[in-house]
């Protein structure tokens, strides 16, 4: 491992740590300064008495100054304590832990498939530039990009679940059946298909458009003309030089997409009744569950930072010039 790469990686890790601290701090104060009182919501009453509200605030430390609450939260976070959910009356990690895998299973799967398929279609379209195939793929990508994710999910449910009966309408398992072993895995994959397919169709145009534009731009570069002039075949030139440079923007977008996947696609999870992080995040926002909300944002910041570090490493391998930046 060369010195430039080590320095490059060290800078990326340091910036990621600073980013996490900054995100935690900004989110903490924004959430606490936003309108709404969790103590009032926790009572479940329309007009709770001031005594009940004050008792709840004392119980959860909400009566202390904001700076004191922040320092206590950061101290607990350094100990590995993500906080305590006011609404669910249990540690935040117990609520978040079981929902991470369901969310990652749909978001990561959809991102990988969208990256692979979008890149392949972009290469195909670049070879058919300004022909019918290229125009058709571009039209489809524009249409898919303009579709709201929740609307597309509902349409797929109506067609493939309600009409054709090929897939279930919602949930992660068939609750009426007690499958075990491999049959349970098949049931899970059966329920997984429509949410993943919806996210795939939503993300596909982004990878397609970015990769295609990058390929077209690289084909116009001077080095392509020079290498063609010295007798390198078009196939070798495209695979070894053009494609390697063109894939970098798509890799960057892939890393960003993976980074945000921890929060899930909230609307998709609601449409398909998928028990993931997105639904939990929305519930925490609506109920002013500060500690749970901060825990989700913290994990989101960590996941994004890790994903971006991995992305930077991949880009540095593909293009060693970025190590000098």
- pLDDT block averages, 10 residues each, the chain of length 325: 71 85 86 71 65 74 80 85 80 86 87 89 78 80 84 89 86 75 84 90 88 82 75 75 79 79 74 83 79 85 83 75 57
Q: Determine how many CB atoms are found less than 10 A away from the CB of residue 26.
A: 11
Tokens of 82: 């993500």
Q: List pLDDT tens digits, range 80-116.
A: 888 888 778 788 888 888 888 888 888 888 888 998 9
pLDDT of the residue at 42: 66
> What's the whole-model pTM score?
0.81
pLDDT of the residue at 47: 65
Give every CB contact of residue 272 below 8 A, 6+ residues apart in sequence: 153, 157, 169, 170, 171, 194, 195, 198
Domain layout of the chain by residue ranges: 98-288
The highest-level CATH class for domain 98-288 is mainly alpha
pLDDT of the residue at 17: 87
**Under 8 Å between Cβ of 211 and 246:** yes
Q: List pLDDT tens digits, range 22-37.
A: 888 888 888 777 766 6
CA-to-CA dists, residue 248 to 240, 306, 312, angstroms: 14, 18, 10
**Residue whose entry in the numeric block shows the structure tokens 């009426």:** 176
Give every CB contact of residue 271 below 8 A, 6+ residues apart in sequence: 150, 153, 154, 157, 198
Tokens of 288: 């002013």
């Amino acid at each position: 491992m060369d010195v430039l790469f080590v320095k490059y990686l060290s800078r990326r890790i340091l910036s990621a740590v600073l980013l996490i601290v900054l995100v935690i701090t900004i989110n903490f104060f924004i959430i606490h300064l936003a309108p709404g009182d969790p103590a009032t919501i926790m009572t479940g009453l329309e007009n709770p008495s001031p005594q009940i509200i004050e008792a709840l605030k004392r119980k959860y430390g909400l009566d202390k100054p904001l700076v004191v609450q922040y320092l206590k939260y950061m101290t607990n976070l350094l100990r590995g304590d993500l906080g305590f959910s006011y609404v669910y009356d249990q540690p935040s990690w117990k609520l978040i832990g079981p929902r991470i895998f369901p969310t990652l299973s749909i978001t990561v799967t959809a991102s990988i498939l969208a990256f692979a398929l979008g890149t392949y279609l972009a290469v195909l379209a670049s070879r058919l530039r300004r022909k019918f195939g290229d125009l058709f793929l571009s039209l489809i990508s524009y249409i898919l990009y303009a579709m709201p994710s929740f609307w597309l999910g509902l349409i797929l449910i109506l067609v493939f679940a309600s009409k054709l009966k090929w897939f279930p309408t919602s949930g992660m398992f068939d609750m009426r059946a007690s499958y075990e072993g491999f049959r349970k895995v098949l049931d899970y994959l059966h329920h997984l298909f429509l949410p993943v397919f919806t996210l795939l169709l939503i993300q596909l145009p982004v990878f397609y458009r970015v990769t295609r534009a990058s390929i077209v731009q690289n084909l116009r570069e001077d080095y392509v003309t020079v290498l063609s002039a010295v007798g390198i075949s078009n196939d070798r030139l495209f695979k070894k030089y053009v494609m390697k440079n063109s894939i970098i923007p798509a890799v960057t977008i892939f890393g960003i997409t993976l980074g945000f996947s921890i929060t899930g696609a909230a609307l998709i999870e609601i449409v398909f009744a998928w028990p993931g992080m997105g639904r939990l995040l929305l519930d925490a926002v609506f109920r002013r569950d500060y500690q749970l909300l901060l825990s989700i944002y913290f994990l989101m910041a960590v996941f994004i930072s890790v994903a971006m570090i991995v992305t930077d490493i991949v880009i540095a391998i593909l293009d060693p010039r970025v190590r000098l930046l």
